[in-house]
Amino acid sequence: MRAARLPWTLAAATAVLFLVGNILGWVTHDPQTAGGWGGGGSAALAAVSASLLTFGLVGALIAARLPGNPIGWLLIAVGLSWATDSALEGYARYGLELHPGSLPGAAYANALDSWIWIVSISLMGIFLVQLFPDGRPLSPRWRILTWASGGALAVAVVARVFAPGKLTDATISSAQNPFGVGPVEALGSVASLALSLTLLCIPLSAVSLIVRYRRSHGIARMQMKWLVSAVAAVVIVYVVVITISVYPAGQTPLWLMALQDGTVVSFCLIPFAIGAAVLRYRLYEIDVIVRRTAVYAVLVSMLVALYLAGVTALGWIGRELTGESGTLAVTVSTLLVAVSFQPLRTRIQAAVDRRFYRRRYDAERAASLFSSRLRGQIDLDALHRELIGVIDDTVQPAHASLWLRDG
């Protein structure tokens, strides 16, 4: 019971730290983030916090059920490190910038904030990627990369803690490092070199994930599919939103700010996918989820385009002929969308199956052809051969036989 309480205690601490960071962020009103992604400010901070909090919650669920799997503890560490970073940033800004001298240890919080982000990024981009899904490196050779990543991270953190001078990566970049060791000036160069090596391990970790996916089969392949599908979905969402974010700074409309904040929240798909993969919850449904997502994403896009085109075209025709408002155009366009829904869905689903799920498409096509031949086939031996042939072509079993009941 005590071992089961620890993950949830850490998850609760993560939630509290994010709450503190959000409150301090709302109080300080960081002017540097205003007008940024999602408009900056409290809404953007809340979206980021909600997204990163899911790492800690999913990690607690995994660690409570599978305490021997490091993935759960890594997820908890990711959420806890980002939550600590959020609280330290708000604390340092309030105690050093908004109300100087009002909070004890604000300078130390600012110094800790200057390097804890390195730990957070390394946990997400290096160790979580290298050890997913069973908590072990891909092979003994890849274990060398894990140890090298850990060594580079440790050197980068220690060197940054004691490097003298200004904290260029901290919340208050003009402040001096209170932990700095004056005579050791070379620590800054060591920290920069170690940080470069640490960041270099991120693409190498991505390569290890690709190799693991190519070598995987069975349950491991399905687990990898969950993570790859989640990452692909997040990347696609970000690319689409970045593409339409063409407004000048300070002129972003409210709907686009909300969409950008929603895009940040979509990052929680990654921990959810990791949780489903590690706990094997409905593991084999990932193909169905991806298939339906692709179908309905294309379907909704086409229906929206059809509706807008109908409203625009029919509205223009109505104004030219009768001079009336576009009420008729909206009504007709809505009916057109309703009538087109099912035919479009059928055609798009067939196109997606034909392009991305060829085996399923071929199986359904073979079954349809066999059922049509079945209506005109009267020779039992020929029917037996055709049925076994269809099963061999579609299901590809090791052995297939047909049993017929006497009489």
**Which range, 41-45, 94-98, 284-288, 377-381, is most confident?**
94-98
- What are the tens digits of pLDDT across the range 309-358? 777 777 777 666 666 655 666 677 777 777 777 777 777 777 766 665 55
Which regions of the chain carry the CATH code 1.20.1070? 2-281
Q: Which of 83-92, 186-195, 283-292, 370-379 has the lowest mean pLDDT?
A: 283-292
Q: Would residue 404 be called left, alpha or beta, if left means φ above 0 and alpha means ψ between -120 and 50 degrees?
A: beta
DSSP states along 242-299: HHH--SPTT---HHHHHHHHHHHHGGGHHHHHHHHHHHTTTGGGHHHHHHHHHHHHHH
Instruction: State mean pLDDT over 250-264.
Output: 78
| pLDDT above 50: residue 33 | no
| pLDDT above 80: residue 131 | yes
Instruction: State mean pLDDT over 210-219.
Output: 86
Specify the pTM: 0.72
Using CA atoms, how far residue 254 sits from 44, 236, 249, 362, in Å, is: 13, 22, 13, 46
Q: What is the pLDDT of residue 394?
A: 65
In angstroms, the first-to-last Cα distance of the chain is 62
Mean pLDDT of the residues in the chain: 81
Residues in the chain: 407
2 CB-near residues (< 8 Å, 6+ apart):
none
Instruction: State mean pLDDT over 51-61.
Output: 93
The correct answer on CATH 1.20.1070 for the domain covering 2-281 is yes
Question: How many other C-beta atoms are found inside a 10 Å radius of the C-beta of residue 315?
Answer: 19
CA 5 to CA 142: how far, in whole Å?
Answer: 33
- What are the tens digits of pLDDT across the range 69-122? 899 999 999 999 999 999 999 999 888 888 888 889 899 999 999 889 999 999
Residues of the chain with pLDDT > 90, as a percent, come to 24
Q: What is the pLDDT of residue 392?
A: 72
Provide the 3-class DSSP secondary structure of residue 166: strand
Instruction: State mean pLDDT over 139-164.
Output: 91
